[in-house]
Amino acid sequence: MAGAIGTLSGIALGPAPVRAAEQTPRTQGWQAVPAPGSTPAAQLRRIAAAASHLAWAVGEEGRAGPSQGRGLAMLWNGSAWTKTDLSHLNHTRLSDVAGVCSTAAWSVGQPSGNGSPLLSWDGTTWREATFPGWGEPDVRLNAVAVGQDRQVWVCGSRGGAARLLHWDGQRWQWLDPLPVESAILYRVVLRSPGEVWVSGDRSNGGGWSGLVARWDGAWTVLPPIAGLRLSIAGLHSAGPDDVWAVGTEAGVGGPPGRPGNPALSHWDGTAWTRVEAGFTVGSLSGIAGDAQGRAAWISGWNYQDQSRSTYLRRDGGNWTVVRGPAGAAPAPYLNDVTSIPGTAGFWSVGLTSPTPAPPTEAYTERLEA
């Protein structure tokens, strides 16, 4: 479903669209941070931070021609990124990462054979973990979240249904299937120990619509976010009546490789409202909250101006387009953004150009605030 490309659809949701503020040349302190050691083509797909001196980023490296590449994992020690050894594993990419301390981090990835890998970090090494359904060919683990209580939540699919896989500290358990047919989940986030949110897309007969749902012991599925082939890549919940969802609307038609359109929507407890992103061609990939739990920063990609990275920053009730540092990469593409606990700072990750082919490299930026 997701990943298709298309043209601007002009679909509106609910009340009249809210417009984001125009672009501003201010960098707001975002600075590129070298992430050396990977083999082009490389990219970082997701990032998680536990403190100013500890973060993990994962993705893939060594993509060239027909090669699918191999998994890539990097560790931030407070002063530099270093590549961690994955030579004992055999995965084509790592798709997500989450962690809360130096010995409690988790990652999921793309299988090179049957099943889908779940990895745990013990402070020095990534190791494959077993779980119910481990090695089954129809099991896919797409995203992971971990709470301060070290309980782990993984979204994916098993038996043809979208599901959550939960670790309570003692055992792994698959929870009830999401009551939506033909759904794919791409992101899982925690608002509180018993409140878990997921996002992705769902079939609507002729394409797909954005999907957001909540698990708090049972599923609550929000109304579909309407659009022309719309996928939700990330979400942030400050409460049941304050949920932000970001993604890309592929639209219809257009040649292969044509970009889609950024999709930003807000749930007020009753309906979704589409918010204009401040640019019209490109994508939104991730969203992060501030220390008060409010949506604060969104990572994106502006197809019409690729000279710098692109963000949306929350200014009161509005979103403002903010640019990253000039000259840091040929045409940086961001895949994710996250807050740094205990600080007012943020990390973002991606790649040095929007095409995952050599000489593209892994890329990170940091906001010191």
The token duo for 173 is: 């358990």
Q: What is the pLDDT of residue 179?
A: 97
Give the amino acid at 274.
R
Give the amino acid at 248.
T
**Per-residue pLDDT tens digits for 281-297:** 999 999 999 999 999 99
CB count within 10 Å of CB 69 equals: 21
Name the band, by pLDDT with cuts 50, 70 and 90, for residue 213. Answer: very high
Query: Which has the minimum average pLDDT: 19-23, 227-231, 349-353?
Result: 19-23
Sorted by where each starts, the structural domains of the chain and their CATH numbers stand as: 18-171+252-367 (2.120.10)
Which positions ≥6 away from 12 have C-beta within 8 Å? 274
Q: Report the 3 state secondary structure along 125-184.
A: CEEECCCCCCCCCCCEEEEEEECCCCCEEEEEEECCEEEEEEECCCCEEECCCCCCCCEE
Q: How far apart are CA 247 and CA 189, in angstroms?
A: 15
Integer angstrom CA distances of residue 205 from 209, 229, 253, 315: 10, 11, 17, 38
From start to end of 316-352, where are the E strands? Answer: 318-323, 333-339, 346-351
Name the band, by pLDDT with cuts 50, 70 and 90, for residue 22. Answer: very low
Q: What is the DSSP string of 37-86?
A: -PPSS-EEEEEEEEETTEEEEEEEE---TT---EEEEEEE-SS-EEEPP-
Higher pLDDT, residue 16 or 304: 304
Whether the per-residue pLDDT at 20 is higher than 60: the answer is no
Nearest one of 261, 224, 228 to 11, comparing CA atoms: 228
CB count within 10 Å of CB 130 equals: 9
The token duo for 88 is: 């004992």
Nearest one of 235, 208, 222 to 143, comparing CA atoms: 235
Whether the per-residue pLDDT at 308 is higher than 90: the answer is yes
Q: Is 62 exposed, middle or buried (0-12, 13-18, 19+ CB in 10 A)?
A: middle
**Per-residue pLDDT tens digits for 347-364:** 999 999 998 899 999 999
Whether the per-residue pLDDT at 68 is higher than 90: the answer is no
Q: Are strands 282-289 and 219-221 parallel, antiparallel or unpaired?
A: unpaired
| H or E, element range at 362 | strand 362-367
Whether the per-residue pLDDT at 255 is higher than 80: the answer is no
My answer on whether omega of the bond before 329 falls inside 30° of 0, hence cis, is: no
